[in-house]
């Protein structure tokens, strides 16, 4: 390969990395906006918020499916994994929304961002991937950081924090099933649509029997929450087309920074020192693990 060809290849890789990083940060912004608008919707019940968040996301996910040749068709052997993705994803989403309503949005986002570490643990029985020593230690350290945010001690906020922790568990488990579906070749819009429709069906009975009338501002907030969630979902999918997860996944933690800024500017929320310490531990662990993987794959360790 000539020097010019090698330079062009390197430039192309750099462009792909740049696009991947920009897309994953756009996804982080989308998910933080979803969290912000869910919180801004006020005293609307959690189930009602979850229904409309997923209803608008389902409409957006349906567009590429209707334009495709295969339409809505689940690949053979994928249904059990889709069912598990829907079950854990929906339960995790509901717990995350509950945490958003009862904690600072930065705390709720940070607990949800424990999902990659849960995914490491769940990958052992579900994908037969055995974590190495660095994965095990980083997971233990990350959960130590979570204790700084949960702050167990009998305070009433412990329960919302534990709900937020399960939100991270549900999301991490759902991601493992999404990975299994990706290995089997299932389409992203189908996975997103199944999850959104399932969540709507779970929350619909609560909407019918306990509907709380909403103001125009609350309707707008939930529409914007759905748009933010869709922006996040499709941006993160696009990001991993430009660059591998091991290269860019750490930038997803900018969601916590976006959420903290939105909380401080618009909701007058200031994270307490222990929460900030938890953020530093969890994000620092994620950065270290990302750096280690890059070095290992390049043969430096």
Q: Is the CB of residue 109 less than 8 Å from the CB of residue 263?
A: no
299 CB burial (10 A radius; 0-12, 13-18, 19+): exposed
Predicted confidence at residue 13, as pLDDT, reads 45
pTM given for the model = 0.78
Plot region of 160 (φ>0 → left; ψ -120 to 50 → alpha; else → beta): alpha
| Calpha distance 111→150 (Å, rounded) | 9
Q: Is the CB of residue 104 less than 8 Å from the CB of residue 275?
A: yes
| Calpha distance 48→14 (Å, rounded) | 43
Predicted confidence at residue 259, as pLDDT, reads 87
| Calpha distance 169→139 (Å, rounded) | 13
**Angle at 34 (CA atoms; ends 20, 202), nearest 5 degrees:** 110
Q: How many CA atoms lie within 13 A of 19 on its CB side?
A: 14
- 71-109 pLDDT per residue, tens: 888 988 999 999 999 999 999 999 999 998 888 888 888
- 23-77 pLDDT per residue, tens: 888 988 998 999 899 999 988 998 999 998 888 888 888 888 988 888 888 988 9
Where the chain has pLDDT below 50, the residues are 1-13, 154, 156
Predicted confidence at residue 112, as pLDDT, reads 86
Predicted confidence at residue 301, as pLDDT, reads 62
| Calpha distance 292→232 (Å, rounded) | 27
Predicted confidence at residue 153, as pLDDT, reads 56
DSSP 230-275: HHHHHHHHHHHHHS-HHHHGGGGGHHHHHHHHHHHHHS-----HHH
Predicted confidence at residue 9, as pLDDT, reads 43
Predicted confidence at residue 126, as pLDDT, reads 83
């Amino acid at each position: 390969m000539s020097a010019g060809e090698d330079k062009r290849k390197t430039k192309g890789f750099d462009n792909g990395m740049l696009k991947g990083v920009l897309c994953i940060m756009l996804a982080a912004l989308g998910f933080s906006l979803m969290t912000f608008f869910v919180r801004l919707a006020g005293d609307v019940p959690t189930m009602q918020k979850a229904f409309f968040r997923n209803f608008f996301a389902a409409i957006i996910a349906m567009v590429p499916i209707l334009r495709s040749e295969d339409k809505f068709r689940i690949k053979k052997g994928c249904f059990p994994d889709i069912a598990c993705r829907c079950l854990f994803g929906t339960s995790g989403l509901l717990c995350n929304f509950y945490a958003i309503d009862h904690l600072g949005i930065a705390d709720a986002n940070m607990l949800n961002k424990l999902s990659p570490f849960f995914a490491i643990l769940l990958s052992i029985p579900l994908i037969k991937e055995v974590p190495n020593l660095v994965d095990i230690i980083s997971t233990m350290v990350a959960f130590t950081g979570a204790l700084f945010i949960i702050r167990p001690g009998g305070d009433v906020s412990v329960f919302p924090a534990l709900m937020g922790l399960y939100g991270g568990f549900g999301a991490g488990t759902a991601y493992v099933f999404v990975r299994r579906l990706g290995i089997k070749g299932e389409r992203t819009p189908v996975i997103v649509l199944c999850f959104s429709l399932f969540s709507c069906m779970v929350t619909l009975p609560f909407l019918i029997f306990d509907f709380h009338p909403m103001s125009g501002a609350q309707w707008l907030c939930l529409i914007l929450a759905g748009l933010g969630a869709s922006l996040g979902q499709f941006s993160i999918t696009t990001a991993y087309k430009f660059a591998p997860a091991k290269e860019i996944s750490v930038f997803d933690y900018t969601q916590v920074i976006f959420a903290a800024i939105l909380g401080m500017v618009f909701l007058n929320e200031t994270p307490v020192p222990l929460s900030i310490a938890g953020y530093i531990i969890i994000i620092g662990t994620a950065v270290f693990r990302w750096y280690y993987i890059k070095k290992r794959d390049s043969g430096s360790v």
